[in-house]
């Protein structure tokens, strides 16, 4: 096969070299991330008291009291996309007010706060999402109940470099599709108590710690900061989010069935762009 | 293709070894050159003069004038010095082209030293098959030589975005000494789709590929011998690693398979393999992962569940499965749930 020089387009980029920068918080990716064994934060560096004070002042927090559970991998497979699931058992559902996810060692530790609305339902309340984890860190889920009390569970996750990981494996395609949303209903049957759905948004959720691939400068943070999920006219939850949510924010959640079960999602990013999606069950 | 700006390579290629000698060395198979001498001779970086004197580049002549150095399967570690992927070079009548340079400046220098024992033709081109550090970080050894650095047009941005992390992590993983002198050297020529290089008496055809293993995969075909350097589009032994698009990778393999090649040089695996036979295991692995992930998505299972279960049947077929497979599933899941 002899190829001809039909379409040679070359771009002279100049010989630009980047010399090893001084020690940064150790990036995790050797190649495509084998387990990040060298990336450890100093363990004695206890950042929680400061975060706790900022978020909840001196309010008491009950730990591991059975009011919620947190699922997180012991070691992340991809520090930029760590799946996290929080569950509030049905017995606590009526009292659940808000759920906050904190990744202690991240530069912006509060990943998201979910505030429940009337359509969150009385079955088990599950919220599952994917987060960036920048260094070995405690991940904490804090439930605020309607009586004003706070409840917390904590998991330690070994992961590194999640916040500065380059955005998007295929940058071009991803930017072309920015704002595209997908809503899926997961419930297999028409449970009278609980339904499950998933919302996905194409968005780089720039952390402010990623390099611009063309200029070598940091890309300013730009992320989905607010989301509202409704079933019909009733709120399932509202979310305020930060840079710790992974690119292409992805939230799976439970809600109470009712009305015609139409799900409506509205999201807004820090640039003020608004994204909406709705899912109307077949036949209605 | 002659280059007006090519810099005189006077002291770099002063080897007096004849072609006969080089063939003999190659046929003996194990001829190596210790790095220490090469490092001093080429004056790459002062730090490298104190580097361990053990870095050598064994090469095999897989076709006439086409040489491959076979890296070991592994991740960057002190015991392998970052020598974990295949590198190679092609010698023309006028010039030499290097295809991937290894994981550190020392490895690049060892390769360069090895080249100089085989030919007095200058290295005018350093081609990188994609952004991964084990393939590109040896570029530093060729920086002073005024050669063209050639890669996919998306290679430079991809490397820029990852430079700090690649350097910091791999330095920590392999050790400071082994990493001495290593830096990111970006391509000076970005290939958008197709590019030809004339080495004198032989032509290399470079093709920039759509997103597959990464978003900057480039293949290099030596037209004279029908040898195709696939980069990491082909793995053998070492489990494939997904850092681009599983759909794109499968599509690309399907496109590549009918193309005739006398042999291919994989990014990881033997120095040379038969084509298209070499594609089959990679394709099977990717198909198993894609099918498993699609089934998980269709039945409403979570990413975490998929990571725990998908593709386990492939475990026995690959090395480094624990290091990379779960991440591959994670990446495939994030991609395929948008279908
Ligand atoms: Zn690779």
Which CATH number does the domain housing residue B48 bear?
3.60.15.10
Q: To probe the interface with A, which of B152, B157, B174 has the most A CB atoms within 10 Å?
A: B157
Q: How far is A48 from chain B (nearest CA, A)?
A: 27
3-state secondary structure of B217: coil
Q: Does A213 have pLDDT greater than 80? A: no
> A82 in a domain, yes or no?
yes
State residue A259's pLDDT score: 80
Residue A134 belongs to some domain of the structure: yes
Mean pLDDT of chain B: 86
Report the C-alpha gap between B26 and B35 in whole angstroms.
18
Interacting residues of B219 by C-beta distance below 8 A, sequence separation 6+: B129, B206, B207, B209, B228, B229, B230, B231, B233, B256
Q: What is the pLDDT of residues A27-74, one digit of tens each?
A: 223 444 333 333 444 455 789 999 999 999 999 999 999 999 999 999
Ligand 1 center from residue B243 Cα (angstroms): 8
- Which residue in A7, A202, A216 is closest to B160 by CB distance? A216
Asked whether the beta carbons of residue A32 and residue B171 sit closer than 8 angstroms, the reply is: no
Residue range A112-135: mean pLDDT, rounded: 96
Q: Do A26 and B172 touch (CB under 8 A)?
A: yes
Dihedral Cα A161, A137, A82, A261, nearest 10 deg? -140
Cβ A117 vs Cβ A125: under 8 Å = no
Closest listed residue to residue A211, CA positions, set A251, A260, A161: A161
Chain B, nearest residue to A177 by Cα: B338
CB pairs under 8 A between A and B: 199
**B4 CA → ligand 1 middle, Å:** 33
pLDDT over 70, % of chain A = 79
**How many angstroms separate the alpha carbon of residue A81 from the centre of ligand 1?**
20
B303:A83 CB<8 A: yes
CA–CA separation, B86 vs B102, rounded Å?
A: 7
Q: Is residue A172 part of a domain?
A: yes
Residue A160 CA to residue A79 CA, distance in Å, equals 6
A173 to chain B: nearest residue by CA? B211
pLDDT at B36: 32
Range of the domain at B13: 9-336
Backbone angles phi, psi at A88, to 5 degrees: -115, 120
Residue B85 lies in a domain: yes
- A272 within a domain of the structure (yes/no): yes
Query: Pick from A164, A169, A186: which is nearest to B215 by CB?
Result: A169
pLDDT of residue B116: 96
pLDDT interval class at A188 (50, 70, 90): low
Total domains in chain B come to 1
Give the model's pLDDT for residue A281. Answer: 76
Judge: B330–A20 Cβ closer than 8 Å, yes or no.
no
pLDDT higher than 70, residue B10 = no
* A258-267, B5-14, B48-57, B210-219: range with highest mean pLDDT: B210-219
pLDDT at A36 (0 to 100) = 35
User: Where does the pLDDT of residue A161 fall: very low under 50, low under 70, confident under 90, or very high at 90 and above?
Assistant: confident
Asked if residue A86 is part of any domain, the answer here is yes
**Pairwise CA distance, residues A9 & B184, whole Å:** 24
Alpha helices of chain A — where are they, by DSSP H?
A: 48-56, 90-93, 171-176
Question: What is the rounded CA–CA span in Å between residue B245 and residue B266?
Answer: 19
Shortest Cα distance from A85 to chain B (angstroms)? Answer: 10
Would you say residue B136 lies in a domain?
yes
CA distance B24 to chain A (A): 32
Measured in Å, residue A181 CA sits from the centre of ligand 1 at 31
Per the CB < 8 Å rule, is A20 touching B160? no
Residue B298 has a CB neighbour count (10 Å cut-off) of 10
Q: How far is the CA of B81 from the centre of ligand 1 (A)?
A: 17
CATH number of the domain at A95, please: 2.60.40.2470
A204-218 average pLDDT score: 80
pLDDT tens digit sequence for B209-228:
999 999 999 999 999 999 99
Predicted pLDDT at A210: 86
Output the six-digit token pair for B322.
Answer: 């624990």
Is B174 part of any domain?
Answer: yes
Instruction: Give the tens place of pLDDT for each residue, B166-203.
Output: 999 999 999 999 999 999 999 999 999 999 999 999 99
Reported as a single tens digit per residue, the pLDDT across B127-161 is 999 999 999 999 999 999 899 999 999 999 899 88
Of B246, B243, B197, nearest to B222 by C-alpha is B197
Confirm whether B180 is domain-assigned.
yes
Residue A21 predicted with pLDDT over 60: no
Return the structure tokens found at B237: 């032994």
Task: Answer whether residue B67 is part of any domain.
Answer: yes
Which residue in A1, A159, A169 has the most chain B C-beta atoms within 10 A of its own C-beta, making it the best mutation to test that interface?
A: A169
pLDDT at A219 (0 to 100): 85
Residue B111 within any structural domain of the chain: yes
Whole-number percent of chain B with pLDDT over 90: 80
Which pLDDT score is estimated for A261? Answer: 81
Instruction: Please check the confidence at residue B17 and state whether its pLDDT lies above 80.
Output: no
A121: left (phi over 0), alpha (psi -120 to 50) or beta: left
| Inter-chain residue contact A15 with B186, CB threshold 8 Å | yes
Domain that holds residue A47: 4-279
Selecting from A8, A17, A252 the residue whose C-beta is nearest the C-beta of B194 gives A8
* B334 interaction partners in chain A (CB closer than 8 Å): 81, 248
Residue B2 belongs to some domain of the structure = no
B26-39 pLDDT tens trace: 333 333 333 333 33
pLDDT, tens digit, 9 for 90 and up, residues B260-278: 899 999 999 999 999 999 9
User: Following CA atoms A21, A22, A24, A30 in sequence, which dihedral angle do they give, to the nearest 10 degrees?
Assistant: 60
Share of chain A above pLDDT 90, in %: 62
Ligand 1 mean position, distance from CA A78 (Å): 16
Angle, alpha carbons A265-A267-A273 (nearest 5°): 140
Q: Is residue B31 part of a domain?
A: yes
Q: What is the pLDDT of residues A265-280, one digit of tens each?
A: 999 999 999 999 998 8
Show the tokens assigned to B268. 């990881």
Is the CB of A7 less than 8 angstroms away from the CB of B302? no
Cα A70 to Cα B10: distance, rounded to the nearest angstrom:
65
Host H or E run for residue B287: helix B279-298
Total domain count, chain A:
1
In a domain, A284, yes or no: no
Is the confidence at residue B239, as pLDDT, over 50?
Answer: yes
Q: What is the pLDDT of residue B279?
A: 98
Residue carrying structure tokens 């939230």: A251
Averaged over A139-143, what is the pLDDT? 98
Q: What is the four-CA torsion angle of B47, B51, B53, B58, rounded to 10 degrees? A: -90
Q: Which of A45-54, A111-120, B63-72, B198-207 has the lowest mean pLDDT?
A: A45-54
Instruction: Count the helices and strands in chain B (H runs, E runs).
Output: 10, 13
């Amino acid at each position: 096969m002899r190829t001809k020089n039909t379409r040679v387009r070359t771009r002279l980029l100049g010989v630009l070299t980047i010399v090893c920068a001084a020690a940064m918080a150790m990036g995790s990716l050797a190649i495509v991330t084998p387990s990040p064994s060298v990336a450890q934060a100093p363990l004695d560096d206890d950042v929680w008291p400061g975060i706790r004070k900022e978020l909840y002042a001196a309010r008491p927090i009950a730990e591991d009291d059975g009011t919620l559970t947190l699922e997180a991998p012991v070691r992340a497979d991809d520090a930029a996309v760590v799946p996290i699931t929080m569950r509030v058992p049905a017995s606590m559902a009526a009292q659940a007010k808000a759920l906050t996810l904190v990744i202690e060692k991240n530069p912006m530790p509060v990943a998201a706060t979910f505030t429940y609305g009337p359509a969150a339902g009385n079955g088990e309340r599950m919220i599952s999402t994917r987060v960036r984890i920048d260094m070995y860190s405690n991940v904490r889920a804090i439930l605020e109940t309607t009586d004003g009390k706070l409840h917390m569970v904590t998991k330690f996750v070994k992961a590194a470099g999640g916040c500065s990981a380059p955005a998007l494996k295929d940058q071009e395609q991803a930017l072309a599709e920015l704002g595209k949303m997908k809503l899926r209903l997961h419930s297999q049957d028409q449970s009278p108590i609980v339904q499950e759905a998933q919302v996905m948004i194409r968005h780089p959720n720039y952390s402010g710690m990623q390099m611009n691939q063309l200029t070598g400068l940091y890309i300013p943070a730009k992320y989905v900061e607010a989301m509202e999920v409704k079933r019909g006219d009733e709120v399932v939850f509202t979310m305020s989010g930060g840079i710790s949510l992974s690119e292409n924010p992805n939230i799976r959640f439970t809600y109470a069935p009712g009305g015609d079960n139409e799900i409506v999602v509205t999201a807004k990013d820090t640039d003020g762009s608004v994204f909406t999606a709705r899912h109307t069950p077949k036949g209605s | 293709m002659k280059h007006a700006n090519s810099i005189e390579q006077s002291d770099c290629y002063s080897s007096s070894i004849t072609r006969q000698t080089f063939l003999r060395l190659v046929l003996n198979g194990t001829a190596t050159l210790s790095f220490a001498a090469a490092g001093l001779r080429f004056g790459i970086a002062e730090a490298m003069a104190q580097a361990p004197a053990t870095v050598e580049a064994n090469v095999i002549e897989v076709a006439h004038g086409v040489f491959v150095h076979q890296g070991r399967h592994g991740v960057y570690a002190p015991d392998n010095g970052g020598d974990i992927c295949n590198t190679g070079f092609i010698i023309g009548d006028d010039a030499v082209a290097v295809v991937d340079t290894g994981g550190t400046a020392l490895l690049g220098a060892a390769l360069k030293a090895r080249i100089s024992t085989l030919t007095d033709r200058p290295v005018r081109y350093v081609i990188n098959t994609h952004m991964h550090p084990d393939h590109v970080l040896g570029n530093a050894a060729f920086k002073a030589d005024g050669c063209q650095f050639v890669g996919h047009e998306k290679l430079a941005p991809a490397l820029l975005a990852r430079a700090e992390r690649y350097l910091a992590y791999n330095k920590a993983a392999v050790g400071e000494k082994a990493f001495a002198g290593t830096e990111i050297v970006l391509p000076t020529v970005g290939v958008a789709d197709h590019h030809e290089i004339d080495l004198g008496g032989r032509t290399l055809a470079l093709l920039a590929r759509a997103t597959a293993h990464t978003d900057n995969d480039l293949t290099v075909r030596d037209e004279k011998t029908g040898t195709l350097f696939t980069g990491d589009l082909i793995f053998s032994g070492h489990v494939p690693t997904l850092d681009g698009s599983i759909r794109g990778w499968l599509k690309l393999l399907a496109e590549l398979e009918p193309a005739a090649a006398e042999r291919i040089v994989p990014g990881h695996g033997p120095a040379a393999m038969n084509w298209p036979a070499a594609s089959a295991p990679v394709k099977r692995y990717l198909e198993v992962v894609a099918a498993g992930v699609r089934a998980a998505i269709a039945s409403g299972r979570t990413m975490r569940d998929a990571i725990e279960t998908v593709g386990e049947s492939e475990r026995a077929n690959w090395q480094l499965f624990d290091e990379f497979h779960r991440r591959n599933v994670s990446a495939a899941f994030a991609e395929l749930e948008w279908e």
